[in-house]
Amino acid sequence: MTNPSPWQEFCDAIESAWPVSRYRDVGVVVGCSGGADSVALLRCLAEATRPRAGTTPPSGFIVVAHFNHRFRGEASDGDADFVRRLADQFGLAVEIECGDAAARDEESARNHRRAFFRNLLGRYGARYLALGHSRDDNVETVLYRMMRGTGPLGMAGVAPFRPFSEHPSDSDFVIARPMLSLGRDQIRGALRSIDAAWREDASNQSNTYRRNWIRNELLPAMETQFPHAVTAIARAVEGQRQWKDALQSVIDRWIEDQQVREAPLTLRRLDRIGGGGMPGRDWEQDSGAASPAEQAVAIEALRRCWHRAGWPLRDMGQHHWTRVVEMLYGGGPDALTLPGAVDVRRDQEAVVFVRRDPVFP
């Protein structure tokens, strides 16, 4: 019995994480930048859903989606042309949209790309948005969050499957990341084994963006002392994700009990509630502070409220979340303004969150 090829091993790993039976009869939008990871994912999904003799043809579809940020001029246009030819090779529909080259900050780029994907999901009636994030991407995300300040759930990395957003209109859309167990080198090796091309983004070598610095400088330095650092961190991330999954029901209950209304977001003051909002707590009215467990649950519930409201999370560090929890428990100021122009006001019974309309110069 011969050993499977690197490409077959790669496809088997995708099948294990995301069986073709789950998406062959629904619509999938595949985000494809032209880089190795997204190209490998697209090729694998296209092959998995290809009609085969003697079997019922799949009733689903794949749409290839490429957002051209135009940050690199002709090179960016070359990426778009590459993705278009790749989609044509597999007979797939392709959608390409160009962004504003002047909007170079990470948040604007992410928001524009996200709006593009959301529009395609709705227009085509697709179920999944498939993204080619790898194990290395997940490790970089966790390190980035740690250095900015994050809670235990932030160290769980990105989920392999999650709703596109918490908004009710997006309840049918799921983001799928079936490559989180696969390393970047393994993915490239799989593509080389079938002589498949991809595009290299030269800007990934620039350390202007912090994520690139983590990739290009921090992780290689760590691996000089700990050669298997990425694999070890990935195992820790998986353990955190399992813990996060177990905590979800507690967070659901917290929001159900403490949220007075969703818009404007209004939460009960926890120093006015027996038990501080946590079942089983021996609450003392004069304690005026959250226990570490209560703080962890409250912060992750707040993150979910932010996500539902569509407010920016990137600039919210752990110290911001801690200050909000302090307000909920009756400490700290009665008013503050958080990143993203979110105003927080506390009255006798509740804490109210309102995001001001952005002011443009």
Contacts of residue 50, defined as CB under 8 A and 6 or more positions apart, other chains included, come to none
Architecture of domain 6-133+177-225: 3-Layer(aba) Sandwich (3.40)
Q: Taking a C-beta distance cutoff of 8 angstroms, is the pair 9, 44 a contact?
A: no
Q: What is the DSSP string of 204-230?
A: GG--SSHHHHIIIIIHHHHHHH-TTHH
Q: Output the 3-class SS for 153-190.
A: HHHHCCCCEEECCCCHHHCCCEEECCCCCCCHHHHHHH
Q: Give the pLDDT of the chain (361 residues) as one tens digit per residue.
A: 678 899 999 999 999 999 999 999 999 999 999 999 999 999 999 999 998 887 888 999 999 999 998 778 899 999 999 999 999 999 999 999 998 766 666 777 888 899 999 999 999 999 999 999 999 999 999 999 888 877 777 888 999 999 998 777 777 899 999 999 999 999 999 999 999 999 998 888 878 778 899 999 999 999 999 999 999 999 999 998 888 888 888 999 999 999 999 999 999 999 887 545 554 444 344 445 788 888 889 998 998 899 888 888 878 888 899 999 999 999 999 999 999 899 999 999 999 999 987 543 3
Strand-strand pairing, 161-163 and 174-176: antiparallel
pTM score, whole prediction: 0.78
Residues spanned by CATH 3.40.50.620 within the chain? 6-133+177-225
Q: What is the pLDDT of residue 152?
A: 74
| SS3 state at 49 | coil
Contacts of residue 13, defined as CB under 8 A and 6 or more positions apart, other chains included, come to 179, 181, 182
Q: What is the pLDDT of residue 344?
A: 97
Is 80 annotated to bind a ligand? Reply is no
CA dist 185 and 182 (Å) reads 9
Q: What is the pLDDT of residue 209?
A: 78
Q: Taking a C-beta distance cutoff of 8 angstroms, is the pair 14, 41 a contact?
A: yes
Is 38 annotated to bind a ligand? Reply is yes
Residue 285 has phi, psi (to 5 degrees) of -60, -30
Q: What is the pLDDT of residue 101?
A: 64
Q: What is the pLDDT of residue 288?
A: 58
Q: In the chain, what is the straight-line distance between the N-terminal and C-terminal CA atoms, in Å?
A: 68
Is 35 annotated to bind a ligand? Reply is yes
Residue for token pair 């997006």: 170
Is 137 annotated to bind a ligand? Reply is no
Is 134 annotated to bind a ligand? Reply is no
CA dist 228 and 185 (Å) reads 13
Q: Which residues pair with 353 in a beta bridge?
A: 265, 344
Q: What is the pLDDT of residue 341?
A: 92
Could you give the angle at which helices 318-328 and 292-309 cross, rounded to 10 degrees?
110
Q: Round the CA-based radius of gyration of the chain to a whole number and report it.
A: 23
Q: What is the pLDDT of residue 300?
A: 87
Q: What is the pLDDT of residue 205?
A: 80
Is 34 annotated to bind a ligand? Reply is yes
Residue 282 structure tokens: 């021996």
